A and B are shown apart, each in its own frame.
Chain A
Amino acid sequence: MGPHHPSMHGVLRLVVVPQGENVIDCKPILGYLHRGMEKIAENRTIVQYLPYVTRWDYLATMFTEAVTVNAPEKLANIQIPERASYIRIIMLELSRVASHLLWLGPFLADIGAQTPFFYIFREREMIYDLFEAATGMRMMHNYFRIGGVAADLPYGWVDKCLDFCQYCLPKIYEYERLITRNPIFLKRVKGVGFISRQEAINWGLSGPCLRASGVQWDLRKIDHYECYDKIDWQIKWQTEGDSLARYLVRIDEMKESINIIQQALKLLPGGPYENLEGRRIAQEKGRMNWNSFNYQFVGKKSSPTIKLPRQEHYVRVEAPKGELGVFLIGDDSVFPWRFKIRPPGFANLQILPQLLKGMKLADIMTILGSIDIIMGEVDR
């Protein structure tokens, strides 16, 4: 099944050995989208590299930016203001809803139901509008900065976002009513692609694949990052471990994300949205005159470049696909020495050959869809 196929799972080539309708073995061949992201990172400062990171996982772009910005922050021990932390949580959870929505469309389109594909774009366009109002771009927002976010939320954004949450939650229930008890869907998905709890831990899976097999592992609760501890939410998990369980985990996660967004919007404090630039302007008050004749028409002030200390560090976030991590080795210069990306799709894809042994040909797309990979981050 060549790198171009009508499903929208990206450029993954599967060499499948069938025997009639059964699948004996399968070998995934990656690398059709390998662009050399890690090598490019060695020649870019972090702010210069931020546009590249959204191209790893282009469905949930805020997470890639969050982990790229968290890496130098933890390395150089930079604190961010609380408002920035809440804005980040809101953006991350909106991005999670968007990613799960766009997973749902192609997953069901592969099973044969073409209409949910149109429904998800309706919600996803609303999320795009929210992102465009706050960050300027629909998809590849260059929004997170070391020390906070790039710009504050525009006036009225909070109300629009609350309206969206109120609109979206009944829509998710509508998807459940349409899909979850549909007998055709259940027959295609129930019992297909079973991963046991021990196997899921052994293979190093993360994200909904792990939580659907009975492991209550969510990095937001374990690492206590940003301000997730101040919000009241639960980890969603299932015990069956088949594709239906993974689907249910993602639907529940969407509902929980809407819940988190609503709470975070109500708890949003005032204050600065970014630390480093304010600190730099305060320190250089005598020298820099941003209101003087020379600079008065400069719309955009350059972000401070931070020198990465000579240490190494691994940071991770709970991306919608799993654990997205970055191992950063600083070299006491503005460029990192090594920027290793741990993509969730790469680790989760390893289990595909084992899941496909003994299945029918039609189950390949179901299982591949339920693992939820995106080739931009698998290949980097």
Chain B
Amino acid sequence: SSSFDVSNWSRLASLWPLLYGTSCCFIEFASLIGSRFDFDRYGLVPRSSPRQADLIVTAGTITMKMAPSLVRLYEQMPEPKYVIAMGACTITGGMFSTDSYSTVRGVDKLIPVDIHLPGCPPKPEAIIDAVTKLRKKIAQESFEERTFRPTRTKYPNLSSPHRFVSIVNTKKYKKKLETQ
């Protein structure tokens, strides 16, 4: 056994997922919290804040409007973090990949994904299987790999044509809110 085993074990035995769900896959994710498919036995305690979570299970369709929020949530999570892309909608766009004009075809266009979990929606047993596979993947990690893979950096374009609108609502919110 290597010296990384203890650190890997401490991470995989207590993956804390973010309570995140857009659409129908979230209901299957929530029934994991229930008592029939208990995911506390794997150490998964659902957290509400991304600052306290280290696993995000993207449950539900990601639309273009929701994509910046998802990326921001991912960036707010502290390292080391893992992503399970749950459901067909997050892998390739799923049933909306042909004719929808607003769905993002696959969440790996936005954030790096560790495990892709097919199903529409995947049964809770399948989600547990995905968590098991993620644990096996974490068990094989080592420090060299982690320092080699750089964290994401965003380089916003300074000369973009978009107009900067303040997020803070002033008293004139009735007029300005539509331009946000």
A interface list, Cβ under 8 A from B? 2-6, 8, 10-11, 15, 17, 25, 27, 31-36, 39-40, 43, 51-52, 54-55, 58-59, 102, 117-118, 121-122, 124-125, 128, 138-140, 375-376
Contact = CB atoms under 8 A, between A and B. Distances in A.
A39 B98 CA distance: 11
Contacts of A122: 34-36
A308 to B, nearest CB: 18
B95 A34 contact: no
Interface stretch (B22-30, B77-85, B107-115, B148-156): B22-30
A4 B20 contact: yes
A55 B98 CA distance: 16
Interface string B117-133: 00011010000000000
Interface of B: 19-24, 26-28, 30-31, 33-36, 48-49, 60-61, 63, 65-66, 69-70, 73, 95-96, 98-103, 120-121, 123, 169, 173, 177
Contacts of B60: 33
B123 A8 contact: no
A138 B20 CA distance: 21
Contacts of B95: 51-52, 55
Contacts of B177: 15, 27
18 contacts: A8-B19, A11-B22, A27-B177, A33-B63, A35-B61, A35-B96, A35-B100, A36-B99, A36-B100, A36-B103, A52-B95, A117-B33, A118-B35, A121-B30, A124-B34, A125-B34, A139-B24, A375-B23
Contacts of B23: 10, 33, 55, 58, 375-376
A10 B35 contact: no
Residue of A25, A125, A375 most packed against chain B (CB within 10 A)? A125
Contacts of A32: 22, 63, 65-66, 69
A interface secondary structure, majority: loop
Contact of B31 (A11, A54, A124, A376): A124
A376 B96 CA distance: 14
Given A27-B177, A58-B27, A33 B61 contact: yes
A55 B163 CA distance: 36
B61 A3 contact: no
Contact of A138 (B34, B123, B173): B123
A102 B27 contact: yes
Nearest to A59: B27
A141 to B, nearest CB: 12
Given A8-B19, A121-B35, 12 more contacts: A3-B69, A8-B26, A15-B177, A32-B22, A33-B22, A33-B66, A40-B100, A52-B95, A117-B34, A118-B33, A122-B35, A140-B120
Which 8 pairs across A and B sit closest by C-beta, in order of nearness? A121-B34, A6-B48, A58-B24, A36-B100, A32-B66, A40-B99, A125-B36, A36-B101
B27 A139 contact: yes
A102 B26 CA distance: 12
A125 B61 CA distance: 23
